[in-house]
Amino acid sequence: ETYKGSNFIRNIIIKDLEEGRNGGRVHTRFPPEPNGYLHIGHAKSICLNFGMAEEFGGKCNLRFDDTNPLKEDTEYVESIRRDVKWLGFDWEDREYFASDYFGRFYEYAVQLVRDGLAFVDDLTAEEIRQYRGTLTESGRESPYRNRSAEENLDLLERMKKGEFKDGEKVLRAKIDMSSPNINMRDPVIYRIAHAEHHNTGSDWCIYPMYDFAHGLEDSIEGITHSICTLEFEDHRPLYDWFLEKLGVYHPQQIEFARLNLTNTVMSKRKLLKLVQEKYVNGWDDPRMPTIAGLRRRGFTPESIRMFTDMIGVSKSNSIIEYSLLENCLRDDLNKRAHRRMAVIDPLKMVIVNYPEDTEELLEAENNPENEADGKRMIPFSRELYIEREDFMENPPKKYFRLFPGGEIRLKHAYYVTCVNVVKDSDGNVTEVHCTYDPASKGGWTEDGRKVRGTSHWVSAKHAVKCEVRMYDNLFTKENPDEAGDGQDFTANINPDSLRIAECWGEPALAEAKELTSFQFMRQGYFVADPDTSKEKPVFNRTVSLKDSWAK
């Protein structure tokens, strides 16, 4: 049972159920705008919305909040479906598009105009901004504010028909230009955009603004708890105003603190920049905090869900350590990843008393954490590779790895003792020669003698050469937005966030299916990249092992 962080929204729902609100229903929604790929911040919202519905026997909709034709794309719609499913959530037949409601939104706008609660404004965007005022200074009313309902209806209809150019007119709610909440100062609710929409094509040339559309989407779908991030707190009076004035079903908006992670940027705008300007290789680059990137990096859905459970849900903004996410992943992979041996910086070992034309298969457990994962056979022969750093010619005291005269255990194999070294003309060790103790098969002996160091190894002639992609933080700064004058977050990109290396792995690694995770013993967790093939296996380093392995 993992630690669960506190979640004030759960308490609100429990109270609502106790008080019999909404007839005992719990109905949430996850409402992404399809203008980019989902990131780990969205995962928090997904787990929260689907999680609360699941916990209280309710429902959760997947709703594409696609009211802005300029930035949206079906590629994003598809990636969002894939990512939500992969995280383990199911919206069944409850997939909705805000754009499917365009007709109804328009009817609601007409209703506001009829009721004298909205007007068509001819001010330019810049003028509207100036008239809006500031926090300390009240706004001014537009000179067009007192048009008659008939005139407004006519103008709105003509806006819809396409008689005006982009920006020439807007529809605004008529609320209060002196409200201390700037969002209430006659906000724009429709704008003109002669643009092709990914779902409605060229049916519309006017599009509703988020604040107008969002509450109506929730209302139409019968959402009970409309959960959003803290920046919308100041928009809630507006959310409530529209629903109240229109006299429609009124969901409850609840705001929570968004997820921020160290060394990470988390806005789609910034992620899009990284992709477009080729700082990374696409939205699913394993360094990206996108769900697609995390998946390719080797994250599991379970680890992400465990993480969102742990951090909980609150009202105060904070920045979570990236290492917390990694720890959740290690916990999960430790349970499920099969162990494999792979040598990244090879040093040849020759077992001088092992017959030259012989080889044998040694048995190895796949996962000491889970017997049900079974065993595999690993080829052993006279010539092996071990990790270069597992040998020292002149070791310091208490060095438990291999040195001349010393004895170590080869994991799953035998004890070996170093009897000789071979050097090149520069004095670098090129081979270590060892004898093995045939009675130590499996890595133990009857006499129970103590052998402290254990090394991983591969049989030289059986090993498969793999590419390993060693990833590090994409940003060097904990807060990537902290950049010098005139610079943005891209100034803090880590130039060494990807290092490509080779390794020699057990033959079984050639068969690794893409997105399968392994623990390369003592090296970390690795996942087979989609680029992998039998001819050239490719692995991404997902995360290092926390502790070096001293058994």
Where in the sequence numbering do the catalytic residues fall? 33, 258, 268
Nearest to 435 by CA among 404, 468, 463, 462: 404
Shortest distance in whole angstroms from residue 275 CB to ligand ATP: 13
Nearer to ligand ATP, 10 or 258 (CB): 258
**Which residues from 247-266 bind ligand ATP, rule CB under 6 A?**
258-259, 266
How many angstroms separate the CA atoms of 266 and 77, rounded?
Answer: 19
Q: Three-class SS of residue 422?
A: strand
Give the rounded distance of the alpha carbon of 403 from its chain centre.
44
| Mask for 222-241, x = binds ligand ATP (CB under 6 A) | ------xx------------
CB of 300 to ligand ATP, least distance (A): 20
**Distance from CA of residue 396 to its chain's centroid?**
44
Element (H, E) at 46: helix 40-55
- The one-letter amino acid code at 367 reads N
Of 446, 341, 351, 345, nearest to 407 by C-alpha is 351
- Please tell me the total number of residues recorded for the chain in this structure: 551
For residues 183 and 441, give the distance between their C-alpha atoms in angstroms, rounded to a whole number: 75
Q: Can you list the pairs that 480-487 forms with residues at least 24 positions away whose Cβ atoms lie under 8 Å?
A: 480/263, 480/264, 480/265, 481/265
Q: Tell me the residue number closest to ligand ATP, measured at CB.
A: 41
Task: Return the number of the residue (283 or 457) whose C-beta is nearest ligand ATP.
Answer: 283
- Residue 251 gets which letter from DSSP? P
Find the binding residues for ligand ATP in span 12-41 (CB under 6 A).
31-33, 41
Q: Using CA atoms, how far apart are residues 507 and 504, in angstroms rounded to an integer?
A: 9
Of 34 and 298, which CB lies nearer to ligand ATP in the complex structure?
Answer: 34
Cβ 324 to ligand ATP, closest distance in Å?
15
Contact (Cβ atoms closer than 8 angstroms) between residue 47 and residue 79: no
- Pick the closer one to ligand ATP by CB: 225 or 339: 225
Task: State the minimum distance, in angstroms, from the CB of residue 311 to ligand ATP.
Answer: 10
Counting contacts by CB under 6 A, is residue 174 touching ligand ATP?
no
How far apart CA 503 and CA 505 sit, in angstroms, is 6
Our finding on whether 268 is near ligand ATP (CB under 6 A) is: yes
Q: How many residues bind ligand ATP (CB under 6 A)?
A: 15
327 belongs to the binding site for ligand ATP (CB under 6 A): no
Specify the residue, 226 or 459, whose C-beta has the smaller distance to ligand ATP. 226
- Based on the shown chain and the rule CB under 6 A, indicate whether residue 9 belongs to the binding site for ligand ATP: no
Of the candidates 22, 28, 45, 542, which one interacts with ligand ATP according to CB under 6 A? 45
Give 16 or 72: the residue with its C-beta nearer to ligand ATP: 72
Q: How far is the CB of 256 from ligand ATP (least distance, A)?
A: 7
Q: How far is the CB of 228 from ligand ATP (least distance, A)?
A: 5
Between residues 227 and 246, which has the closer beta carbon with respect to ligand ATP?
Answer: 227
- Contact residue for ligand ATP among 13, 16, 26, 42 (CB under 6 A): 42
CB of 201 to ligand ATP, least distance (A): 22
Footprint of ligand ATP on 50-69 (CB under 6 A): 65
Opening angle at CA 315, ends 313 and 90, nearest 5: 35
Q: Which residue has the tokens 């090993």?
A: 463
Q: Does 267 bind ligand ATP (CB under 6 A)?
A: yes
Quick check: 347 and 385 in contact, CB under 8 A? yes
CA proximity to 303, closest of 47, 544, 108, 77: 47
| CB of residue 259 to ligand ATP, shortest distance in Å | 4
- Distance CA(528)–CA(543), nearest Å, equals 13
Using only C-alpha atoms, the chain has a radius of gyration, in whole angstroms, of 31
The answer to the question of residue 44 lying near ligand ATP (CB under 6 A) is yes
Report the residue number, 54 or 151, with the smaller CB distance to ligand ATP.
54
- Tokens in use for 183? 């969002």
Instruction: Pick between residue 41 and residue 208 the one whose CB is nearest to ligand ATP.
Output: 41
Query: Could you tell me whether strands 498-505 and 342-343 are parallel, antiparallel, or unpaired per DSSP bridges?
Result: antiparallel
246 phi and psi angles, rounded to 5 deg: -85, -10
Helix or strand run (H / E) with residue 207: strand 206-208
For the bound state, the minimum distance from the C-beta of residue 189 to ligand ATP, rounded and expressed in Å, comes to 18
Helix/strand/coil (H/E/C) assignment for every residue in 474-515: CECCCCCCCCCCCCCHHHHECCCCEEEEEEEECHHHHHCCCC
| Binding footprint of ligand ATP on the chain (CB under 6 A) | 31-33, 41-42, 44-45, 65, 228-229, 258-259, 266-268
